[in-house]
Chain A
Amino acid sequence: MSLVSPEYKSNDTGFTGVAMKSRNLIFAVIVCIFLLGPFGVFVIGSGGVDLPSWLTAEDSAYLTGGLVETNIEESLNLDGYASKTLQSALENKIGNNIPVKAQVIYMNGALQRQCIEASNALFNWESYPAFFGSAYCYIPRQDRILPIPQRMTQETEQAFQNYIKHLDEFSKAHPDIDFVTYFAPGWDTALYSPLNDLTCESISYAKVQEIVDSALEDKGGSTNSKYLFAQYNGDQDEAKYLADYYRFDHHWNNRGAARAYYQIAESLNLPQRDAGYCFDIAGEPYSGAYARSASMNVAEPFVGVSNGLDSTIVDYRNHEWIMGEHVRYFDAGSLERHYNAYTLYSETLEGATIKTGNGDKNVLLLSDSYGGALQYFLPLSCNSLVQGISLSMGDTSSDTLEQILANCDADIDAVVFVAHSSNISGLSRRKPDFFAFE
């Protein structure tokens, strides 16, 4: 009997070669329809039919870093072919037409996570990777996602020490300005993270605090430069911390920012005002950076804030911007709010000068994205607030602190640095001359 070319005749009239051929045909048709999915989406979309975003690749834009604009006509030439831009454009075109792409990404992550959970049944670790090879881990007890912490290295420790040393020198040279550095616990130094116990010599918030304390002891410190850490004490404050920081994003929410505001205001002797009330914005769940990076379809309430700055006019570099209304947030579509709430709500005033006259001091806030939320609190206690993103990893400006101070319209009385720990240590690596002065 040949297995390569089977005979399909049979004694049973119910099962003939026709049945086998039909089954082959059905199988082939199903596979062909599946493989033609992106082509179908492209044709239907090109025909003017407005497909729902979940049916196309549109919903996946935030999960994949955005839908890449494709311009095939532009690269349809020899240069485009030789440089492979034509090939990339065609590949991106197909990628942009994958049906239900967001759900596919989530489902793929979920399937891998189930395999990992099955493996974890033997070990019962408190946390496990979100998918195979993921740098992000899920913590079921806290229903939280965190990145795997980096290892503390000599270079990192030195970078923190350099930051303190250079700021110390600068502050001594500028005794009329107060300096505060607030180390926000986030991303690599999240508090109450079981990952610190699961990994070896990882960077932790406590370790950073140790390094800073040790550096200050050695230097003696200057009286006008202070270093603040979030005040959460022991296990009883775990719930408080988890309420102040997003569980699926690396940022604090407005509760956490408000808590930091009180600490900063106290250290700068600013008048402490009521930060306002923080509330969960109903019906607008937020799926932050961690959720996207972990390919997990999870979301949490986004925390809004309403305080005395609601109707303040802001001088925003020739634009008029009304504080507190968070226009960009409420004007954005629901999909963008779902994935990008923090940026829309909190990071709208980059480079702005907020004049409130609520205090005596002009404050310069230099931060990474954490500073965005503080812009809605610090002006409660100062005359004006200028904000810059010098501590952000993406900031490419080469201005020194002295130049930034010189460019401010008013004389600055206090400089507040706010960022998560690695952006603070990273400052001395990215901008070694930042604290240079004449």
Chain B
Amino acid sequence: MVFSSTIFLFGFLPLFFAIYFLVPSLAVKNIVLLAFSLLFYAWGEPVYVFLMIGSIAVNWLAGLGISKTNQRFSKKTVLVLAIIANLLVLGFYKYQGFLAFNINRALGEEFLAELELALPIGISFFTLQAITYIVDVYRGRVVAQKNPLYMGMYIAMFPQLVAGPIVRYADIEHAIDHRVVTMDGFTQGLRLFIVGLGKKVLLANIAGILADSLLMKEAADIGFIGCLSGVLAYTFQIYFDFSGYSDMAIGLGKMMGFDYPRNFNYPYISKSATEFWRRWHMSLGGFFRDYVYIPLGGNRVKQPRFVFNTMVVWALTGIWHGAAWNFMLWGIYWGALILFEKFFMMKVLNKLPSFVSHVWCIVLFIFGWLLFSVTGLQNVLQWTAALFGAYGLTGTSTLWELQSWSYISLIPVMIIGSLPWAPWLRKKIQLWAEGASDCNVIAAPEKGNEAVPVCQVQIARSVSVIPARMRVVTMVNIAVDLALIAILVLSSFSIVSSSYNPFIYFQF
């Protein structure tokens, strides 16, 4: 089941919230959430749902095992065994075919059977989530959850189950037993859910039509314009799809009283590779930083070891995205860039005008998406050659046939949608309403989630607002609500029409 489907919007969601809000106690709400989360997963994975239940059981027992023993060696043993168990399951289902294929090719014989297993949806996400739990229990950051149903609720929670964000247990530990759902919180979450739905259905899916139609073609058939359009379309598709899904997940969590962390912070405004990865898929970056990079020593080691640590993290980041060499190459590409910037480029970038740094970063992430989306080294080389004009402007096609021209009217929308105009405008209006003279606003902070809360779609009205200006604030908020309803309606039109609605997380 996906969020952008009729069954979810018109069936699952109303039914879930009806029951969730009907039951009075938080304990029963948690059980309802678990039950619906398992139903959500089982809808598309009627067999693999038992694999997830098994994962819940193993990690719950591991957490208890770690917490119950006082001996460090025993704690560590349970931790290591549990991590291995998690990684074995992930490795088996996700990488068995890939490993077998490459080993067999290297040996020149069929040494290992290529099982061609169907990948359980979301296994990459809930496995990492489970690992954060048992590591945090080991580190003493969280208390082991004694209730297996609550443990199941955390791992299986349907908002972030199939496409993130990777929510750490610490983020929701308090909320399990103490959350309060208010009308304000519910509608904040609902508004963000609609924003995410619009991003996914109205922007990502449309960009995906062009991206998919061009990416499956030979570079020689579509030439420079076709390849550039294809990779640009993919750049927008993957951002709006991923960030839209995260918005929907965070919004749904908020509707239930959970505060999930922000996952995307307008990455396309970045001025360096380093900044890009502080804004893109922040929960994944945080996982690899806190659970791989820092345990390896981070940057508090000698330089060769630091380089090694960085490249290991980025190779793992790449291969996490998919069992194929192009993902590994993509990860190594980013690792190398980050090192390059750290050792050489950053001083230069800091002195350059912002515009130049932006262009530098844009070229980096567009080429990165080329590596990510085009499979096979030969194809990557051909596509790169096409971008330098090796196959002419349109290859063997006509410009009309490429169809990329038909999307031109959407380019301004997509560019604007990638920029932090909404939080900037919101802050500007807020400060104006409060009569602040200096409206110097940094809309999207450079690091982390701290400054701008992700669920604040509406303009808040504080005690400082000048009464005469409050009416404007109210009118703006009403306009925002009307726009959101329009987005919901248009998104529903698209979903009902069975318009193109790819699920790009099947390899996760």
A interface list, Cβ under 8 A from B: 1, 3-4, 6-12, 15, 19-21, 23-25, 27-28, 30-32, 34-39, 64, 81-82, 84, 87, 90-91, 94-95, 98, 101, 104-105, 107-109, 111-112, 115-116, 118-120, 122-123, 125, 128-129, 131-133, 148, 198-200, 295
Contact = CB atoms under 8 A, between A and B. Distances in A.
B496 A104 contact: yes
Given A27-B485, A104-B492, 17 more contacts: A6-B462, A7-B462, A8-B461, A10-B467, A23-B478, A24-B187, A27-B187, A32-B14, A81-B42, A87-B43, A90-B7, A94-B11, A104-B497, A108-B494, A111-B490, A111-B493, A115-B409
B421 interface: no
B297 interface: no
Among B6, B43, B461, B474, max chain A CB count under 10 A is at B461
Contacts of A19: 474
24 contacts: A3-B456, A8-B461, A10-B467, A23-B477, A23-B478, A24-B187, A25-B183, A27-B190, A31-B190, A32-B14, A38-B6, A64-B498, A82-B47, A84-B46, A91-B6, A91-B7, A94-B6, A94-B7, A98-B6, A98-B496, A108-B494, A111-B490, A111-B493, A295-B497
Contacts of B498: 64
B119 interface: no
Interface in B438-480: 452-453, 455-456, 460-465, 467, 470-471, 474, 477-478
B489 A119 contact: no
B46 A6 contact: no
A108 B400 contact: no
B253 to A, nearest CB: 14
Interface residues of B, number: 66
A105 B10 contact: no
B401 interface: yes
A132 B406 contact: yes
Nearest to A1: B462
A118 B413 CA distance: 13
Interface string B473-508: 010011001001100111011101111100000000
Given A3-B453, A28-B183, A119-B407, A200 B10 contact: no
A128 B6 contact: no
Contact of B190 (A28, A107, A112): A28
Contacts of A101: 496
Contacts of B184: 20-21, 24
A24 to B, nearest CB: 4
B485 A105 contact: no
A12 B467 contact: yes
Contact of B183 (A21, A34, A82): A21
B461 A10 contact: yes
Given A6-B461, A91-B7, A118 B409 contact: yes
Given A27-B187, A37-B10, A94-B6, A133 B209 contact: yes
Nearest to A129: B406
Contacts of B400: 125, 198-199
Nearest to A81: B46
Nearest to B209: A133
Contacts of B43: 87
Interface string B377-396: 00000000000000000001
Given A27-B481, A98-B496, A128 B460 contact: no
B397 A200 contact: yes
A354 B456 CA distance: 74
Contacts of A24: 183-184, 186-187
A128 B406 contact: yes
B462 A15 contact: no
A268 B243 CA distance: 67
B403 interface: yes
Interface string B217-250: 0000000000000000000000000000000000
Given A15-B471, A82-B47, A31 B494 contact: no
Contacts of A111: 490, 493
A198 B398 contact: yes
Nearest to A9: B463
Contact of A132 (B47, B407, B461, B484): B407
A257 to B, nearest CB: 32
A87 B44 CA distance: 8
Given A1-B462, A23-B477, A81-B46, A122 B408 contact: yes
Contacts of B453: 3-4
Nearest to A83: B46
Contact of B467 (A6, A11, A112, A120): A11
Given A10-B461, A31-B485, A119 B405 contact: yes
B9 interface: yes
Given A28-B183, A64-B498, A82-B47, A200 B463 contact: no
Nearest to A116: B406
Contact of B401 (A20, A39, A108, A199): A199
Contact of A35 (B14, B408, B467): B14
A112 B206 CA distance: 9
Nearest to A17: B461
The 6 closest A-B pairs by CB, nearest first: A6-B460, A12-B467, A133-B209, A118-B409, A198-B400, A24-B187
Nearest to A125: B400
B51 interface: no
Interface in B402-419: 403, 405-410
Contacts of A90: 7, 11
B102 interface: no
A57 B208 CA distance: 27
Contact of B396 (A32, A109, A123, A200): A200
B213 interface: yes
Contact of A104 (B206, B409, B481, B493): B493
Contacts of A119: 405-410
Contacts of A35: 9-10, 13-14
A12 B405 contact: no
Contacts of B484: 27
Contacts of B500: 132-133
A107 B493 contact: yes
Contacts of B13: 35
Contacts of A8: 461
Contacts of B398: 198-200
A27 B183 CA distance: 11
B467 A20 contact: no
